C-alpha cells in the first residue's frame, strides 16, 4: 500500500536547514527493498519518520518503497544514513523502537556509524553479540570500541554514567561466550553498599538482603536468556550471582566475571577481586567514578585506584562513556549532564 506523508516539519516550514543552519536546500530519494518491513521502518502513522524530521530538521515524504528527503545537504545525508541503518536492522531481524532510532540518529553524526552499518541488507552488522533471545549491536558511539574490547582484552574497565549499557553489554557478551563454550561459567558480582540506606534493616536472610543489590544483573540475564535456562544454570552453579565479599579466597578459572558498581569497592576489595583472575577467563569491571557511595567518597574508591595503577598495562583495556552514550530516554542524558557536566 502506497504511503504519502503530507505533514510539514517545523524546520522545513521555516526553511531552516538543520539545527542552527539557514541556507540552500537539497533533496535525495532512497528506494528500499523488502516491502514487508516498510511498515516497521516508517512506524505507526509514520512516527519514525516524524522522529527523524524533528531531530534532523528535514522533511520526509514516502510513497510505496520510495522515500524523499529534503533539507540541508548535511542533514539530508544524515537522514538518509539513518533510514538505511534502520532498514538494515529490520532486514536482519532486529526490532526498532524510539530509543534505538534516537541512538542511530545520535550516531549518524559520528564516524563510527559506518562501522556498524552493513554494506548490504542481507548482511548482519559486523559488530554484534548474539544471545539466545536477541542480537545486540552498538547503540551509541562509545559502545563500538567497548564491544570490540570485550572480544579482545582480558580485563576491561568500563567507566561512565548509568544508562550507557556498560553492564548490559558485558552480561550479553558473557552469555554469548557461555553459549559458544569458550567459558564454562558466569560469575556476576556487586558490592553490597547502601546508597543512603542500611541493609541490616531489610527483612529476610542474607540472600534476601543482598538480592536487591544484584537485581540489575538478574534483569540483564533474563533479557539475554530464557528464564528457565537462567534458573537452571543458577541452580547448577554455571551462573553465580553474589556480593564481592563471596569472592575472597577463590580462583575464577574458565569464567566470564563481571563486577558491577565497582566504584563502591574499597582498594582492598578491588585488589582482592582482580587477583581472583584465573586461566581462560575474562573480567569486566563496570562503574561510574562520579557515583561513589562508600564512606570517604571517591578518594577511597578501589575503581579509581585500579584504573590509575593498571590503565595501559598489557591485557587491560579501558572504555569511557559520557552522557552522549546514554541509551535510555534522551532526557536521561540531559539529566546526567545537568548534574555532572560533560565528562572529561
* pLDDT tens profile 66-97: 999 999 988 898 899 899 888 888 887 778 88
Residue written as grid cell 558466569:
186
- How far apart are the C-alpha atoms of 336 and 270, rounded to whole Å? 26
- The CA R_g of the chain, rounded to the nearest whole Å, is 23
- Of 96 and 337, the structure prediction assigns the larger pLDDT to 96
Q: Please, which residues bridge with residue 186 across strands? A: 239, 256
The pTM (predicted TM-score) of the whole model is 0.66
b/e for 188-205, b at 16 or more Cβ within 10 A?
bbbbbbeeeeeeeeeeee
Amino acid 272: pLDDT: 95
Residue written as grid cell 569486566:
284
Domains, the chain, ordered by start: 10-116 (3.30.1370.10), 129-340 (3.40.50.300)
For the chain, how are helix, strand and coil distributed in percent, rounded to 5?
A: 45, 15, 40
**How many CB atoms are closer than 10 A to CB 91?**
20
208-224 pLDDT, tens per residue? 656 676 777 888 898 88
Amino acid at each position: 500500500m502506497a504511503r504519502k506523508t503530507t505533514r510539514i516539519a517545523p524546520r522545513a516550514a521555516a526553511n531552516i536547514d538543520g539545527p542552527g543552519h539557514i541556507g540552500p536546500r537539497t533533496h535525495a530519494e532512497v528506494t528500499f527493498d523488502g516491502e514487508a518491513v516498510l511498515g516497521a521502518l516508517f512506524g505507526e502513522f509514520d512516527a519514525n519518520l516524524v522522529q527523524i524530521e524533528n531531530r534532523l530538521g528535514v522533511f520526509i515524504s514516502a510513497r510505496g518503497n520510495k522515500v524523499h528527503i529534503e533539507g540541508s545537504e548535511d542533514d539530508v545525508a544524515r537522514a538518509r544514513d539513518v533510514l538505511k541503518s534502520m532498514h538494515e536492522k529490520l532486514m536482519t531481524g532486529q526490532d526498532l523502537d524510539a530509543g534505538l532510532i534516537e541512538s542511530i540518529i545520535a550516531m549518524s553524526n559520528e564516524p563510527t556509524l559506518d562501522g556498524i552499518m552493513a554494506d548490504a541488507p542481507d548482511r548482519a552488522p559486523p559488530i554484534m553479540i548474539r544471545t539466545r533471545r536477541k542480537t545486540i549491536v552498538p547503540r551509541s558511539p562509545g559502545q563500538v570500541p567497548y564491544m570490540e574490547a570485550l572480544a579482545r582484552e582480558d580485563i576491561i574497565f568500563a567507566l561512565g554514567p548509568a544508562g550507557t549499557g556498560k553492564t548490559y553489554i558485558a552480561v550479553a557478551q558473557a552469555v554469548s561466550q557461555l553459549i559458544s563454550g569458550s567459558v564454562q561459567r558466569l560469575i556476576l558480582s556487586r558490592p553490597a553498599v547502601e546508597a543512603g540506606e542500611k541493609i541490616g534493616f531489610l527483612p529476610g536472610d542474607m540472600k534476601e538482603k543482598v538480592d536487591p543489590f544484584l537485581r540489575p544483573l538478574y534483569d540483564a540475564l533474563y533479557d539475554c536468556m530464557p528464564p528457565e535456562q537462567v534458573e537452571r544454570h543458577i541452580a547448577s552453579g554455571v551462573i553465580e550471582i553474589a556480593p564481592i565479599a563471596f569472592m575472597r579466597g577463590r580462583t575464577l578459572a574458565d569464567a566470564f566475571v563481571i563486577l558491577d558498581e565497582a566504584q563502591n569497592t574499597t582498594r582492598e576489595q578491588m585488589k582482592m577481586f582482580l587477583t581472583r583472575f584465573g586461566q581462560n577467563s575474562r573480567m569486566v569491571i563496570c562503574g561510574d567514578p562520579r557515583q561513589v557511595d562508600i564512606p570517604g567518597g571517591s578518594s577511597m574508591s578501589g575503581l579509581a585506584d585500579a584504573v590509575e595503577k593498571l590503565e595501559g598495562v598489557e591485557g587491560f583495556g579501558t572504555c569511557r562513556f559520557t552522557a552522549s552514550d546514554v541509551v535510555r530516554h534522551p532526557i536521561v542524558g540531559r539529566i546526567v549532564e545537568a548534574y555532572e557536566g560533560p565528562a572529561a
